[in-house]
Structure 1
Amino acid sequence: MRELQIFRNIQFEDVKDIEDFEDKSLERFKKPIVEEYISNLDENMNKSIYAIELISKYAPTVSGLKSLKEGLPNYTFVEMEKRISEIDFDKEYDIIKILGDELSSVELKISKKKEQIKELEPLLELDVSINEIDKLSRFNSILGGVSGKIVDNFNGAMSGLEYTYYEEIGVYKDEVFFFIISDKREEDELNEALRIGNFNKIKIDSDKLPRDSIEDIKNDIQKLENEKQNIISNISGNKDKLDDFKLVYDYLANIRVRELAKRDFMATSSVCMLSGYCPDFDTKRMEEIIFNICGEDYSLEFKDVDRDSDEIPILLKNNKIVRVFENITSTYALPKYNEVDPTPLYAPIYALFFGMMSADFGYGAVLLILTTLGLKLCNFTPDMKKNVKFFQLIGISTTIWGFLYGSYFGASIPGMWRLFDLSTQFMTILIISIIMGGIHLAYGLAIKAYMLIRDKQYVDMFFDVIAWYIVLASIIVLLLSIAGVLNPELKTIAKYGACLGIVLLIVGGARAVNGNIGAKIAAGIYNVYGISNYIGDFVSYSRLMALGMAGGYIAFSVNMIAGMTWGHTIIGYVASILILVIFHAFNLFLSCLGAYVHALRLIYVEFFGKFYEGGGKAFKFFRGKTRYINLDRHLEE
């Protein structure tokens, strides 16, 4: 199990799903019992979390750019095990636990002392000690409080007593406190008045005045605070153990994954049977690992999975450049096993669209410089590194489109070559956007055609792809002929082509319906209605032009405002620089956010909608997800 976890490219399934253990020849096989060991692991993981949180709360930590630069420590699985063998976890935890218990005890004492002060504060006006008054033989002395809601009833009852003196001495929250001294001859009447006021007696055993007692308690609190600071200092002094506890937690998390996997096994005292999934490119290495451990004492069978099953786990395999776009695919849905991985198909298109919508050479250069420096100087986690590489590629696309538009932080450089001028050629850019959209849609249909041909579904390919090509191409040619862009004589051919395509769409929509002729015709007409969706798709690509222009005009406006404040005084120069830096940074953020979201929409809706369903389940590596370290980072990258 250890070697397979180092290997990691295996996902176990319940072996009972593929073997009949009701058979007498297999009746000796039982599920391994792992619950007690898992419970022990959970306990130690909770101990690690307790120690981590306690030390982190009081020990100084690295933050900001320095924390990004240092990042999480990097370990291979073997290095992690070696370091774990050097850690005396129980001893280190006991030290932290004792300090934590001492800290909790002191904090509880401080809390109780503060509560005592709150109880005594309403009695500050009392200028005699209760113990002294209690020595009187003929009188009763009482301290206590009455709810503010019934204090009038209490005052009314007390005012009728002839041999009793009472005085309001303070208010705390919703309770009014009184000092009462009464002749014992009137004790019964006094008790009735106390009952009417629901009087809450306070017993203070002290020879001191309340104000003096409060001072004593404050002195006690100060001593406890000093003790607390010493304990905190000792906790902070164990900062060097923080990395040990973090490493132990991630190590135990992996051991826990290892133990949980055994729930899918069946075993006797001498034989273990297991099953699962392994990527086809790694089966040879897996068999070598098993052979190195078991020698000849094992039986291993590989079987190709059912490509149409929805239960097959999905592991995407792409080159280093395409891999940074895989988060976009998984955010939508992983492909099913019988689908193509769309990531390499849309990756260059996504970068193209993003760059066109955020097009500014300066903004792209900033992205490119920041991401390149980050990758070179910072120790990112594998996921974070993938995201940074994503924006590095996006920065290249943004820079190229900014150069084509001649936009440099919203300004144009005199004499600098440009392919398009956003201020005058927006219609040209809009037409190019629509043409790019048409190519993109046709590309999506072509992928669908490939998948249908691969699956030998030639009829579906003809009606679901070729028919749409005929209809859409005919409509486009017809519109361009009417507009005079193409030869008017093509108009007649386009009309016939459109009619033929519509008939094919009707037939294609009807073929999938089992029912009477009316239902088939309705399904066919509804299929033709899909033309309106394609019209909407074409128009949707106008955002490629619109967002590029929006970002450019905002940048231009920022430059114009900064130009108005430039000059005359130092304040003007400083204000202009601040305006340029702050608002260009904000516009860079808005441009990237808008381009990111709208490029996603063009991929998810317009592109994926033509061929991609998704719904695959992610392959689960035989590893625990680390929280505090980068484990076998080279495998992630």
Structure 2
Amino acid sequence: MAVTKMKKLTVIAPKNHQASLLKTIQGLQQLQIRDVFVQNVSNQWVKTYFKEVQPVDYQNEIANNQQMVSKINEAIQFILHYGNLKQPKNVLKRQNLSLAELEGLHEHFDLEAELANIQQLQEKWQSIEQNLRKLNEKEQDLFAWQKLDIIPNQFASKQVRLQLATVASENWLAFEQASQQLPELYLELIYDDTKEAHFAMVYLESLAEQVKHFASQFSAVEVHLAIEQTPSQAIKQIDQQVKALVQQQKELALEIGQKRQLIAQLQLSEEYLLAKIERYQALSQFVQTEHLFVLQGWVGQTDCQELTQALQNSVPYEEVYLSFEEPTAAEIQEEVPTKLNNHPIVRPFEMLIEMYSLPKYDEIDPTPWMFPFFLVFFGMMVADIGYGVLMLVATTVALHTQVFKKGTERFLRFFQVVSIPTILWGFIYNSCFGESLPYKPLLSTQEDVIQILLLTVSFGFIQIMVGLALAGYQNVKRNDYLGAITNGFAWQAILVGLAIYAAGTFLNLGTLVGQLGIVIALIGVASIIFIPTFTNKSKVLGFVGGLYQLYGISSYIGDLVSYTRLMALGISGGAIAAAFNLIVGFMPPVFRFTIGLVLLVALHALNIFLSLLGAYVHGARLQYVEFFGKFYEGGGKVFQPLKSAEKHVNIRWKKQNNGGNES
């Protein structure tokens, strides 16, 4: 398994087949469209043969479809938020569809008419809410005056004026006392809410200016009530209007709730429009003339036959020209994307590579090399039969009963795979939910700590050796044979020699074994020091550089120590689970089988989460730092085929029974 070899596909066909071929390409999800208008060496043919052709601008079409998508989302949110909840909701359940099936489901649905209908409902709802808001504001304004038993607008007198006003509550007493200096002024407090005092003033018309000046001294504010009845009567009328509007709103909510049945269809239409937007964006990246179009893209070598068959089934065989080319050296450096090709069991672990960095097109795919080590490490860090079985059952049931997004499905398959080593290491340690089964463990986390420690270091030693071997292989592929020795094979010799020397010394295998180890290690040391010395123009600088590179032996010691976390996490997880069992075991029987069971489930759930999180994070760290650091560069470009957004459904290519294909 490795990085997929890519081919550059060129498609030339009549313009009338453009839409059909593009849909087929999108349904297959195997071709990354090249932008042939980018200025580079590979696109010189465009200037040569299509000098006058410019990329077609589809921004208006894209904007129109994006606007429709926004309307769909707004409509769905409006229906879910304001529709009567008693009405059944028909939200789209994720499923696998072909692009042709998706388009068929969309075409029988009058999207614009339904959106217009929902828009009308939304406008009615907003109108009712606006009227309710105005009535509530009006009622709040009248609330303080409801004890006023006259109609302010109907108070008519040529000599006497009625004025309503408010003043800050803390100024009311002073205002009332000061008003006694005007014997012709009558004050009546209507309502005081501790912030504002609402009052009425009755005074002679001849004192209007004097009263106005007096009121301004206390910052009194005049109030006008635009009503034709008493405030209490107006409030009752408002209440009746509010009740009527609320009833209308309830009836409208029922009507909106009936639209909950359309949510699934709206989501399908949104998926269709998102796919259409992707096609419009692709259309501006290839040559289009009045009569034909020329499209180029990158496709995996293993997919060439299926893509060819699908395209030739979409249009008459003699009307489409297909050409596959090997990428040039310049294209490999500049634009060829990386597509990983691994066994289905290994494939979920590609997400760890993507989180770090994809390999370059001409680089080794580290996924299959990392895979067995990650399995061992993850299982060793969780190491519980019960936890592993729970993972296996939960992920298997979920994957067989539900359709998930591709990313979520890959994540579940990842934990489905790592559940197996978790169970196996649980048997090795004899741990099941923190308890021991009635057999003797192969390795006891209490009695065999030293053996487990040595085992973790041994696993680390093996992985580092594999990493150095891959580093050597990478350099050999580049014809850098001396680099293969200094960066890979020489370090292997040093580490193997030291391991042989340590085994000979501590296991009493004889001085000859120890001496053999020293000789092998010295050969590696000599290679690291003297190869740079003889290949460098400056022998002194080369020698110093070799010595400095040799100083890196200290980092290998740190790397080996890092692998001891495998033991620490495995032992600690089992100890925590056993402690939880012990805590519940101390409870009286009455509580042990009631609250204790609930507590035990909660505590083990917490321990499972922490154990899986720790194993995932630390397992990935060992790959990224201790393993990848020996040979891996990364920096590859992500393979981005023309596909649908797959927001609500998964698009799958389906073959028809008659031998043809549909997208």
Normalised TM-score (structure 2): 0.86
Question: Given the alignment, which residue of 220, 223, 226 partners 2:244?
Answer: 223
Local SS of the residue matching 1:276: strand
1:274 is aligned to 295
User: Does residue 554 in structure 1 map to residue 576 in structure 2?
Assistant: yes
Return the alpha-carbon distance in structure 1 between the equivalents of residues 497 and 87 of structure 2.
Answer: 64
Q: Is the 8 A contact 1:314 1:335 kept in 2?
A: yes
2:14 is aligned to none
Distance 1:309 1:212, change over 3 A: same
Question: Given the alignment, which residue of 1, 20, 26 partners 1:5?
Answer: 26
One-letter amino acid matched to 1:465:
G
Distance 1:623 1:25, change over 3 A: closer
Return the alpha-carbon distance in structure 1 between the equivalents of residues 582 and 65 of structure 2.
Answer: 63
Shift of 1:536: 1.0
Q: Is the 8 A contact 2:99 2:651 kept in 1?
A: yes
Q: Is the 8 A contact 1:71 1:380 kept in 2?
A: no
Local SS of the residue matching 2:333: coil
Question: Given the alignment, which residue of 474, 497, 503 partners 1:474?
Answer: 497
Question: Given the alignment, which residue of 96, 115, 119 partners 2:118?
Answer: 96
Deviations along 1:250-287, one digit per CA (max 9) or x if unpaired, are 00100111011111123221122222212122223333
User: Does residue 245 in structure 1 map to residue 266 in structure 2?
Assistant: yes
User: Does residue 51 in structure 1 map to residue 51 in structure 2?
Assistant: no
Show the 5 A alignment for 1:555-570: 555-567=577-589, 570=590
Q: Is the 8 A contact 2:169 2:194 kept in 1?
A: no
Q: Is the 8 A contact 1:509 1:524 kept in 2?
A: yes
Q: Is the 8 A contact 2:644 2:651 kept in 1?
A: no
Return the alpha-carbon distance in structure 2 between the equivalents of residues 596 and 395 of structure 1.
Answer: 12
Q: Is the 8 A contact 1:129 1:209 kept in 2?
A: yes
Shift of 1:410: 1.0
Deviations along 1:313-363, one digit per CA (max 9) or x if unpaired, are 122222211112121111111111011222122122212111110001111
Distance 1:20 1:421, change over 3 A: closer
2:434 is aligned to 410
Local SS of the residue matching 2:359: coil
Local SS of the residue matching 1:275: strand
Task: Choose 543-552 or 347-356, whichever is displaced more.
Answer: 347-356
1:604 is aligned to 624
One-letter amino acid matched to 2:624:
Y
Question: Given the alignment, which residue of 377, 385, 388 partners 1:361?
Answer: 385
Return the alpha-carbon distance in structure 2 between the equivalents of residues 112 and 574 of structure 1.
Answer: 55
2:209 is aligned to 188
Question: Given the alignment, which residue of 440, 464, 470 partners 2:463?
Answer: 440
Show the 5 A alignment for 1:266-345: 266-292=287-313, 293=315, 295-306=317-328, 308-345=332-369
One-letter amino acid matched to 2:27:
I
Q: Is the 8 A contact 1:513 1:523 kept in 2?
A: no
Distance 1:257 1:202, change over 3 A: same
Distance 1:25 1:619, change over 3 A: closer
Deviations along 1:604-637, one digit per CA (max 9) or x if unpaired, are 11111111121222211211212122222889xx
Return the alpha-carbon distance in structure 2 between the equivalents of residues 274 and 353 of structure 1.
Answer: 46
Local SS of the residue matching 2:341: coil
Q: Is the 8 A contact 2:176 2:187 kept in 1?
A: no
Shift of 1:547: 0.6
Normalised TM-score (structure 1): 0.90
Question: Given the alignment, which residue of 82, 95, 105 partners 2:127?
Answer: 105
Distance 1:499 1:295, change over 3 A: closer
Distance 1:377 1:577, change over 3 A: same
Return the alpha-carbon distance in structure 2 between the equivalents of residues 260 and 151 of structure 1.
Answer: 70
Question: Given the alignment, which residue of 37, 52, 59 partners 2:61?
Answer: 37
Distance 1:512 1:536, change over 3 A: farther
User: Does residue 591 in structure 1 map to residue 611 in structure 2?
Assistant: yes
1:27 is aligned to 51
Local SS of the residue matching 1:284: helix
One-letter amino acid matched to 2:444:
D
Deviations along 1:566-612, one digit per CA (max 9) or x if unpaired, are 52xx3343133223222122211211111111111111111111111
User: Which structure exhibits the higher relative contact order, with contacts defined as CA atoms closer than 8 Å and separated by 6 or more residues?
Assistant: 2
Question: Given the alignment, which residue of 454, 477, 487 partners 1:454?
Answer: 477
Q: Is the 8 A contact 1:406 1:412 kept in 2?
A: yes
Return the alpha-carbon distance in structure 2 between the equivalents of residues 314 and 152 of structure 1.
Answer: 83
**Ranges in structure 2 where 5+ consecutive residues have no aligned partner:** 1-21, 656-663
Return the alpha-carbon distance in structure 2 between the equivalents of residues 309 and 62 of structure 1.
Answer: 58
Distance 1:197 1:418, change over 3 A: same
User: Does residue 80 in structure 1 map to residue 102 in structure 2?
Assistant: yes
State the percentage of identical aligned residues.
28
2:17 is aligned to none
Shift of 1:523: 3.6
Question: Given the alignment, which residue of 355, 359, 384 partners 2:408?
Answer: 384
Q: Is the 8 A contact 1:477 1:486 kept in 2?
A: no
Return the alpha-carbon distance in structure 2 between the equivalents of residues 158 and 343 of structure 1.
Answer: 91
Deviations along 1:368-397, one digit per CA (max 9) or x if unpaired, are 122222223333333322222221111111
Question: Given the alignment, which residue of 231, 234, 256 partners 1:213?
Answer: 234
Distance 1:166 1:546, change over 3 A: same
Q: Is the 8 A contact 2:97 2:650 kept in 1?
A: yes
One-letter amino acid matched to 1:44:
M
Distance 1:154 1:463, change over 3 A: farther
Return the alpha-carbon distance in structure 2 between the equivalents of residues 50 and 255 of structure 1.
Answer: 20
Local SS of the residue matching 1:324: helix
Task: Choose 350-359 or 92-101, whichever is displaced more.
Answer: 92-101
One-letter amino acid matched to 1:442:
M
**Ranges in structure 1 where 5+ consecutive residues have no aligned partner:** none
Distance 1:23 1:554, change over 3 A: closer
Distance 1:413 1:290, change over 3 A: closer
Return the alpha-carbon distance in structure 1 between the equivalents of residues 594 and 362 of structure 2.
Answer: 61
Q: Is the 8 A contact 2:128 2:249 kept in 1?
A: yes
Return the alpha-carbon distance in structure 2 between the equivalents of residues 612 and 61 of structure 1.
Answer: 58
Aligned residues: 627
Return the alpha-carbon distance in structure 2 between the equivalents of residues 369 and 285 of structure 1.
Answer: 35
Return the alpha-carbon distance in structure 2 between the equivalents of residues 184 and 100 of structure 1.
Answer: 52
Q: Is the 8 A contact 1:367 1:392 kept in 2?
A: yes
Return the alpha-carbon distance in structure 2 between the equivalents of residues 218 and 98 of structure 1.
Answer: 26
